[in-house]
Amino acid sequence: MRENNSSMRRPVAVLGATGMVGRRMAGLLADHPEFELALIVGSPDSEGASFESLWKAKEDAVREHYGPFWTPEPFPEGLRGRRVSRFEDILRSEIEVVFSSVPERAGPLEAKLVESGRTVFSNSPYARFDEGVPVIVPEANAGVLAPRHRLVKNPNCVTSGLVILLTPILQRYGLASVSVTTYQSLSGRGDALYDSSLVVHNVYSLHGSEERTEHYIRGEVKKVLGTSAPISVACYRVDTQEGHLVDVRVRTVDPIGSRDDVVRLFEEFSPLASLGLHSAPRSPIVVLQEPGRPRPRDDAWHERGMAVAVGNLSTDDEVHDLRLTYVVNNLVRGAAGGALLNAELWQHRRSAR
C-alpha cells in the first residue's frame, strides 16, 4: 500500500460534492492514502462558497426538516478552508480521475469528462444500463473491471449489499428466484427532502413514485451477477437516518444443507482479502446471531460502514430455501465507499500491468 504522502497520491475531483453522497465522498477522501482531493465541485450557484459553511447549512437543514432524531454529519477537519470549484475547473486541470455523485439529470457532465479522457467512478443512475458501462461491486464481479474502462458505475445502495450476499449463494447453490423487501432510511433520498408527513413516524411505499428504486434493483442484480433468475422487489422508506434494512427470501437450484452451512459460507467469503485495497472490508459479510439483529442504527457501521450485517438466517421456511435480513450502510458501502473501492481496484489493476 502506498504511503500517506501527498506527493505520491493521485489527485482527484469530486463532482456533486455538495450533495449528501458527495459530502460523504469528500469526507472519505480527506485522508485517503492513495487519492488526494484536489477539486471539490458543486452546482454553479455554489461556486466559490466555503465548503464547510455549505456542508453545515445542508446538514442543519435536514435536521430541521426531519426533527431532532437526525444527527448532522460532522465536517472533516482535513477539509477546512476548502472552497467549491466549478465543473470547468476539472476540464482545465490535469486531474485524470473524478468521483461523481450527481443526479441522473446531470449525467451528461459525466459523458463530457469521459470524452475529455478522464476516468469517472459514479454513483449516478445515469448510463448504468448502457452496454459497455460496467456496474461493479468488487466482491461480486471484480473480473469485469478493466483499466480500459472510463465510466465505472456502482449500483443502487440496496443492490450493493444484496449482490455481496447473493454471490456466495449463487456460486454454491445457484439462484432459482429472489424476493426482496426494503426498509430504506431517509438519507437514501439525500438532500431532496420528503414531505415530513409522509415519512416521519411513518412508512412510505416507493412503488409507483418518481423514485425508480424497484426497477434499478431488479436490473442491477441481473447485470452484476449475470443471472436471469426472476427477482421480486418492494421498496419502502422508513423513519431512520442511515442504513437500509432489507428482507431477502431465496429459492436455490441445489438444496441447502443447513443454516450452519450458510453461516460458514458467509463467514468464509472474502474474495478481496489478498489485494490490500484500503477500503475493502476484511469480512464483507458480518453474521449476527443475536435475536432482533441487524438493526440500522446499530449495524450500519461494521468495517467502517463497508460490510453488510446479516441476521435472522433461516432454512426452514415453507416457501423459500433461505430467509435473511441485512443492513447495508447506504451512504458508505451503498454509495461513496462503493465508488471509492472500485477506484482502488481499478488503480490496483493498472499498477499490476
**Per-residue model confidence (pLDDT) at position 34:** 97
- Same domain? 95 vs 47: yes
- Same domain? 172 vs 320: yes
- Same domain? 97 vs 179: no
This prediction's pTM:
0.96
Q: 139 lies in a domain?
A: no
Starting at the edge strand found earlier in the chain, the sheet holding 285-287 runs 203-205, 231-238, 175-184, 244-252, 322-328, 308-314, 285-287
Q: 145 lies in a domain?
A: no
- Same domain? 203 vs 303: yes
**Per-residue model confidence (pLDDT) at position 177:** 98
- Same domain? 196 vs 112: no
**Per-residue model confidence (pLDDT) at position 94:** 97
Taking 50 as the pLDDT cut, the residues of the chain under it are: 1-6
Instruction: Please measure the distance between the N-terminal and C-terminal CA atoms of the chain and give it in whole angstroms.
Output: 16
- Same domain? 97 vs 237: no
Residue 19's domain comprises 6-127
Q: 303 lies in a domain?
A: yes
Distance between CA atoms of 5 and 112, rounded to whole angstroms?
A: 31
Active site (catalytic) residues: 157, 244
- Same domain? 110 vs 165: no
- Same domain? 177 vs 300: yes
Phi then psi for 262, rounded to 5 degrees?
-70, -40
**Per-residue model confidence (pLDDT) at position 7:** 55
Q: 98 lies in a domain?
A: yes
- Same domain? 65 vs 190: no
- Same domain? 245 vs 311: yes
**Per-residue model confidence (pLDDT) at position 352:** 80
Q: 264 lies in a domain?
A: yes
Write the single-letter amino acid at 213: T
Domain boundary pick from 110, 127, 144: 127
- Same domain? 216 vs 324: yes
Q: 151 lies in a domain?
A: no
For residues 298, 302, 307, 312, the Cα torsion angle rounded to the nearest 10 degrees is -40
Instruction: Please report, for the domain that includes residue 171, its CATH number.
Output: 3.30.360.10
Distance between CA atoms of 99 and 26, rounded to whole angstroms?
A: 9
Domain count within the chain: 2
Instruction: Please report, for the domain that includes residue 13, its CATH number.
Output: 3.40.50.720
Domain boundary pick from 127, 144, 168: 127
Distance between CA atoms of 128 and 142, rounded to whole angstroms?
A: 16
Tell me the torsion sign for CA atoms 113, 118, 119, 121: negative
- Same domain? 171 vs 286: yes
Chain segment 35-68, per-residue pLDDT in tens: 999 999 998 899 999 999 999 999 999 999 999 9
Q: 353 lies in a domain?
A: no
Q: 150 lies in a domain?
A: no
